[in-house]
Amino acid sequence: MSKSQFIAASDRFSAWCKTALAFWADAAKDPRGGVAEQLLMDGTADYDHVRRVRVQFRQAYVYAHAAHLGWFGGARAASDQAWNFATGPGSAGGDFVPGSDRGCAHLVEGDGSMHNDMRDTYAQAFILLSGAWRFRAFNDQDSLDTAEATLRFLNENLTAENGGWFEGMPVSQNSQRRQNPHMHLFEAFIALYDATHDTAYLELADDMFELFKKHFFDPKTGVLLEFFNPDWSPEGDGGPTEPGHMMEWAWLLQNYARISGKDVQSYVVTLYDNGIKYGWNEKLGLICDAVNIDGSPHNPTLRTWPQTELLKASVARAEIEDSDEMFKAAADTIEALFKYYLSVPVTGGWADKLSDDGHIISTVMPTSTFYHLFCAAAEADVLATKIRAES
């Protein structure tokens, strides 16, 4: 029963996602270039809001992956719309990086003028991700070349001697280090390996796994540490921790095991179980945004994206363990997404944030959320398709 329940829920989510792809391709498209940073709750685009360039790359990824799946006929044009803006007006060398490859700046105005040309590492990860998927979906060598140029930029300018990369340019070797940029680089390296089968990307993923084991995962508490000093010692107690990131790592580690053959199951189970243990909102059946390392509440609000990461982690565990419990968890999470986030007046839109008692408190639809929703729907669909083929 749990598998059939999951397949039905996955089909519903995929159908919603296909509608959302068509809606956002039109509603967020700016005739001046790129896509709006956000829509208002009535579906009107907020074109003049300052844009995070990484969101443009995320949207380019969404539509490239959608093209690969055959989910939306206009996917190439929609991906190009975001990609061309991000690699054009959204791209900068920065006066602090003389002669470097141009790449993802931090913020631009809606008209494409530069607002902040900082080259943060977190953002660069999404050039790698979208470049990988555009190469995979469209055989676009220029996109892969852009991803490779970005990786050269990271290696030449931001590599830290004690592992990983600094937070961005301009470099501050005494600033806080975070796991989050490295998590998204891990995601990007896996995607690049899947797209190219170049073992250099697998080796980079290996490096990220080593950082995870050595610094990000705390064996004493079984949770993910988020914040660090320059020497990778935890900043304070390393928290607060985010249950959504614990789920995201669980999903990524399972994907890493697929390409590397390494045994990561104990990490996957521990992160998943403790994400539920510390972050679960019993009343709503959702996970909260952040908790303190000791498990006490920190930020009990409930954004959309942690739920999508819970879904992806549940799908990953269901596939490996063939567990009715995980199939049911995945199906229940999809139903919760529809109940609390996707049942809004604008078809294909979403509520992005709830209070801990389930009331919508977001006032806009961030474009960035589509990256999370789409990827979760795609992961669920892959497993649902596999189950059908085997039955």
pLDDT at 262: 97
Residue 238: burial class (beta carbons within 10 Å; 0-12, 13-18, 19+): buried
Can you spell out the DSSP letters for 318-375?
Answer: HHHH--HHHHHHHHHHHHHHIIIII-SSSTT----EE-TTS-B---EEETTHHHHHHH
Percentage of the chain exceeding pLDDT 90? 92
What is the arithmetic mean of pLDDT over 124-136? 98
Q: Are 80 and 24 in contact (CB under 8 A)?
A: no
pLDDT at 103: 86
Nearest to 383 by CA among 335, 324, 320: 320
Whether the pLDDT of residue 98 is over 70: the answer is no
For residue 92, what pLDDT band results from cuts at 50, 70 and 90? confident
Tokens representing residue 315 in the block:
């799908």
Percentage of the chain exceeding pLDDT 70? 98
For residue 84, what pLDDT band results from cuts at 50, 70 and 90? very high
For residue 175, what pLDDT band results from cuts at 50, 70 and 90? confident
The pTM (predicted TM-score) of the whole model is: 0.97
pLDDT at 94: 60
Measured CA to CA, the distance from residue 78 to residue 69 in angstroms comes to 15
pLDDT single digits (tens) 276-309 = 999 999 999 999 999 999 888 899 999 999 999 9
What CATH number is given to the structural domain containing 296? 1.50.10.10
H helix and E strand count, the chain: 12, 19
For residue 174, what pLDDT band results from cuts at 50, 70 and 90? confident
Measured CA to CA, the distance from residue 253 to residue 248 in angstroms comes to 9
Tell me the residue range of the domain where 358 lies: 2-390
pLDDT at 201: 98
pLDDT at 278: 95
Number of separate domains in the chain: 1
Whether the pLDDT of residue 101 is over 80: the answer is no
**DSSP reduced 3-state for 272:** helix
What is the arithmetic mean of pLDDT over 238-250? 98
